[in-house]
Amino acid sequence: MTIDPSIALASRLLGALVFLTAVAGKLAHRHELAGVVVNYRLVPEPLAASMAWLVVGLESLVTVSLATGLYARSGAALAIALLCGFALAMGINLVRGRREIDCGCFQSGLRQSLSPGLLVRNLVLALALSPLFAATSAWGGPLQWVDGVGAGLAAYGLYRTFDQLLSLRQSTAELRKRFA
């Protein structure tokens, strides 16, 4: 089964932009990376810095793969594995009752504590990348490119809006507690 090239392009563009934003955020806050990994309490503290940079490296590979279309299926598989791994790490900490740690996404100007919404966000993004497994190398015509780019940018805009709404919701709740 194959899919329309515009759907594959939209999926690639969405994934590339999300992972590019994540890499840029992590690099901008590189002094906090190891601390975020330590806070999850899933790897021994001496390995936290290495694990943090491994994540940045893998996210960079995903970005390049999806942005260029080179090894797009492999890039999508790595992206989905990362997103599911992040969701699992968040889920473990939510079950432990540890909601107040920063998710480490670095995609918002506001701190994001763990929440079920972040798990849903990651799983929906993983699902949005799944059409790349049915994609062919066919490029399609100019209108399919316009459709793909438009849909990819719109999906990324929705993703960022959802991310900001989650951040604002948490910040508003914190302010209410502080001034109540």
63-73 per-position pLDDT tens digit: 999 999 999 99
Contacts of residue 141, defined as CB under 8 A and 6 or more positions apart, other chains included, come to none
List the domain boundaries for the chain.
5-179
Tell me the two tokens of residue 19. Answer: 């992972």
Q: Dump pLDDT digits (tens) for 104-134.
A: 876 655 567 888 988 999 999 999 999 998 8
**Tens digits of residue pLDDT in 15-60:** 999 999 999 999 998 998 899 999 999 999 999 999 999 999 999 9
Distance CA 135, CA 152 (A): 15
Rounded Cα distance between 33 and 105, Å, is: 10
Confidence (pLDDT) at 4: 86
CA distance 139 to 58: 26
Q: Which residue has better confidence, 31 or 174?
A: 31
Q: With 90 as the cut, is the pLDDT of residue 177 above it?
A: no
User: Residue 168 to residues 19, 106, 107, 159, 179: CA-CA distances in angstroms?
Assistant: 21, 14, 13, 14, 16
